[in-house]
Amino acid sequence: MKKSIGLVELKSIPIGIEVADTMLKTANVELILANPICPGKYVIIVSGNVGSVENAIKAGKDKAGIFLIESHVINNIHEDVIPALTGTIEPVNIKSIGCIETISALTAIKAGDIALKSSNIELIEIRLARGLGGKGFIVMCGDIASINSAIKSCTNELQESGEITSTSSIASPHRDLINKLM
């Protein structure tokens, strides 16, 4: 069965911790992330099969009550999204890099999934709202044509929501920049 991820964002850190516990006790899911994010919010990301993730998200929403900001389930997530969220990807040969900044954590995850599915790129990182004022961003690598294709796909698919704030692509980035991004 294909893997899904679910995200719950709350406006209370103590309630967020309680919601994470409820989600884990309700369904057979793996906790990917449960952290405070800027500004004073809490995000929970779980993964598993579709039914388990949907059950966990429903339980989380019910427990969160008035503290819920948003929730979402992404089915058939690309297998490299979770390693990019947890910072466990180590690209070998970086020819070009691209970056997409989003207005929310959820949109950064969506952008990473779209980029991976639409183009021959590798995600270096998906960063969610920590020290970013609630924004998110993805950093990817590959050849410049693939980077530009991924950016175009994300922009086309997410432009209606207006949640992409900026993008960039850099051919042959300086090695010192590459070292800082890793």
| Chosen domain end from 23, 52, 74 | 74
List the beta bridge partners of residue 74.
5
Specify the CATH number for the domain of residue 168: 3.30.70.1710
Domain containing 164 equals 81-181
CA distance 155 to 55: 31
CA distance 87 to 75: 21
Residues 22 and 60 in one domain: yes
CA 14 to chain centre: 22
Count the domains in the chain.
2
pLDDT of residue 92: 74
Residues 100 and 65 in one domain: no
> At CA 100, angle to CA 68 and CA 87, rounded to 5?
75
Residues 56 and 94 in one domain: no
Helix, strand, or coil here: 80? coil
By the 8 A CB rule, do 165 and 134 touch?
Answer: no
pLDDT of residue 131: 65
CA distance 1 to 77: 11
| Chosen domain end from 58, 74, 90 | 74
By the 8 A CB rule, do 4 and 56 touch?
Answer: no
CA 163 to chain centre: 13
pLDDT of residue 38: 78
Residues 86 and 69 in one domain: no
Backbone dihedral angles phi then psi of residue 5, each to the nearest 5 degrees: -125, 150
Residues 44 and 111 in one domain: no
**pLDDT tens per residue, the chain (182 residues)?**
469 999 999 999 999 999 999 999 999 999 999 999 878 889 999 999 999 999 999 999 999 999 999 999 999 999 999 999 888 888 777 899 999 999 888 889 999 999 999 999 999 999 886 666 678 899 999 999 999 999 999 999 988 777 899 999 999 999 898 888 87
Residues 172 and 142 in one domain: yes
